[in-house]
Amino acid sequence: MRGRSGTGWRQALAGLAVRTGPDAPSPGRRTVPVPVRRDGSGRPRHRRGEQPMVPEAEFSSYYGRPVIKEPVWEPADVAGYLFTGGLAGASSVLAAGAQLSGYRQLARVGKIGALGAISLSVAALVHDLGRPERFGNMLRVFKPSSPLSVGSWLLTGYGPMAGAAAVSEVTGLLPGAGLAATLGAGLLGPGVATYTAALICDTAVPAWHAGYREMPYVFAGSAASAAGGLGLLAVHPADAEPARRLAVLGAAVELVAKRQLLARLGSLAEPYEAGTTGTILRLAEFLTAGALAGAVLGRNSRFVSALSGASLVAASAMTRFGIFEAGMASARDPKYTIVPQRARSGGNE
Amino acid sequence: MSADPAARAGYRDHPPRIGFFTDTSICIGCKACEVACKEWNAVPEDGLSLTGMSYDNTVGLGASTWRHVAFVEQPARPGEGLRWLMASDVCKHCTEAACLDVCPTGALFRTEFGTVVVQDDVCNGCGYCVPACPFGVIGRREQDGQAHKCTLCYDRLGAGLEPACAKACPTDSIQFGPLDELRERAQLRVQDLRAAGQDQARLYLNDPDDGIGGGGAFFLLLDEPEVYGLPPDPVVTTRDLPGKWRHAARAAAGLAATVIALGLGRRK
């Protein structure tokens, strides 16, 4: 087995020529260093549009066609599903914490927010199926090898509890069962918020798969900051101390984890940093950092707290869309598939 | 990981694992495999356009293309002009198949022959298999919203027939049979080619120790895999799934632990 641990592919993506070694280039291919060949025909292709952020590594592809298929998922459905699932799961954690510490109004917001968000999340998941009427087939089997199977079962347990907690809260019926449902949803909520990270990373999409170690922490942080943000938005700061803590903690974790994610990815971070996706993710980071400061410094101001809360919710949504789009971009360009693989296999066949 | 995927899937007394050996050195680019596959499997038309990619107007594998002949025009040795490579691509029927692993409904399953097949009446079109495949083989069809790919003619195998593409191939570039036999034959063929001066000849996905545990369909290529649109070192994405679950569980535990922080400073 060849070594797969290394940093080799990162260096290669950062601009080293990959085609080295006695048997690498086929006749006639190696003699033209610039411009880089990007297709199997041997014709040079000029890169259009913006300048690449790293020097192009030399590699071959089949007419520049992608090696893997990009996901068939609609961004609004699946990025929305990632965002609302996180918001719901962390809102249930907030609701449980608020209930235990006597913040009744905040607990109420958490429960209603969780039910609303998880309803949207499941609706998006079903809507994105090619055969929505067969959604029930998700529960035909339980497969730990499929994060979507595990997630479907998790949602099956979590959804009704989140629903019962909210209904009991609003109607005042069965308070004992409502408390149990609140705690149950609070227990499963974190799983709902993070399994989606395992889901997208368990693919051949280079920019997702290579980040599987950090992605769950980005998702957990983003979910917590969104749920805390919703609390700050809806409840007077004097009655929203747990939401403030969750928001600050979540935002801080998200900012750090996202930095670590990009550092891990090395040059595979390019799809997260380039173009519109890069702008969206930088804006989300800026909003999160600003809201973090606002939530800490503006704790006595209803307006500043609400503004910070709204910013955190928006930033969380933007982060999920950005991560989704970065993955799509990395699937479309064969460079991100071929160069890391070529580098880890040592340039040999 | 067991080299016998059918046994791993729970079959006892199953037939030997079968597969394809596609020897691209004798492919003439006739596309009879593409046509035979479409005809036998009633795969719908999926676009008629001219791409300018040599003689390849099929472009790549997908929900409605289960055989794809690639055409590569490249400079040959100095003074020899053009070299024209042709290669018929197909689902690899991986020993460790990511599409099968991630399928949440069990629509994708392992057959007694060791191949990987989608059950049309179960697939709900979630699309997870599509980005899971390291080769971009499987796709979701617009018309019915479901995932489709090569079945290695599961229906024909059951009747003791060879797959339609192999049957139609006029040069035996596509060879079909028990995988063990195919691997031996391929080894001899690549040795012959190298002895004859084809120093670029190499086998692709024939090694049970590679990132997918070896392909049930494997290839003899005359250049690097990426030249034909194939990944040079594919690894099944679920190989590090335990690590993914571990990190997801840690992150979830961290989020759950914030309840404690939230509960501090309890009100009256």
Residue A156 domain boundaries: 75-334
Average pLDDT, chain A: 87
Alpha carbon distance A328, A324 (integer Å): 6
For residues A70 and A96, the answer to whether their CB atoms sit within 8 Å is no
Give the range among A2-16, A95-109, B113-127 with minimum mean pLDDT. A2-16
Answer yes or no: do A40 and B227 touch at CB < 8 A: yes
- B-chain CB neighbours of A338 within 8 Å are 226, 231-232
**CA nearest neighbour of B144 among B122, B129, B128, B163:** B122
3-class secondary structure, A330: helix
Distance in Å, alpha carbon of A290 to nearest chain B alpha carbon: 22
pLDDT tens-place string over residues B222-262: 999 999 999 999 999 999 999 999 999 999 999 999 877 77
Question: Which CATH number characterizes residue A281's domain?
Answer: 1.20.1630.10
List, in order, residues 6 or more apart from B148 with CB less than 8 Å away: B43, B63, B64, B66, B118, B120, B138, B139, B140, B141
Looking at residues B22-45, what average pLDDT do you find? 97
Task: Specify if B113 maps to a domain.
Answer: yes
Task: Specify if A32 maps to a domain.
Answer: no
Distance in Å, alpha carbon of A333 to nearest chain B alpha carbon: 12
Q: Does residue A30 register a pLDDT over 60?
A: no
Q: According to the model, what pLDDT value does residue A9 have? A: 46
List, in order, residues 6 or more apart from B144 with CB less than 8 Å away: A130, A131, B125
Side-chain-side CA neighbours of residue A82 (13 Å): 29
Alpha carbon distance B139, B149 (integer Å): 7
Task: Specify if A27 maps to a domain.
Answer: no
Answer yes or no: do A61 and B229 touch at CB < 8 A: yes
- B-chain CB neighbours of A143 within 8 Å are 101, 103-104, 106
Q: Does residue A44 register a pLDDT over 70?
A: no
A306: Cα separation from own chain's centroid:
25
pTM equals 0.89
pLDDT tens-place string over residues A211-265: 999 999 999 999 999 999 999 999 999 999 999 999 999 999 999 999 999 999 9
How many domains is chain B built from?
1
Task: Specify if A155 maps to a domain.
Answer: yes
Residue B94 domain boundaries: 5-236
Which residue has tokens 């799961």? A89
pLDDT tens-place string over residues A268-284: 999 999 999 999 999 99
How many domains is chain A built from?
1
Task: Specify if A110 maps to a domain.
Answer: yes
More confident call, B262 vs B145 = B145
Quick one: pLDDT band at residue B47, thresholds 50, 70, 90?
Answer: confident
Eight-state DSSP code of residue A239: G
Query: In this complex, which of B126, B199, B231 lies closest to A341 when CB atoms are compared?
Result: B231
> Does residue A190 sit at the B interface (CB-CB below 8 Å)?
yes
- B-chain CB neighbours of A89 within 8 Å are 255
Task: Specify if A347 maps to a domain.
Answer: no
Alpha carbon distance A303, A309 (integer Å): 10
Single-letter amino acid code for the residue at A196: T
Distance in Å, alpha carbon of B182 to nearest chain A alpha carbon: 20
Task: Specify if A17 maps to a domain.
Answer: no
Question: Which CATH number characterizes residue B13's domain?
Answer: 3.30.70.20
Tokens of residue B190, six digits: 């690549």
Single-letter amino acid code for the residue at A98: A
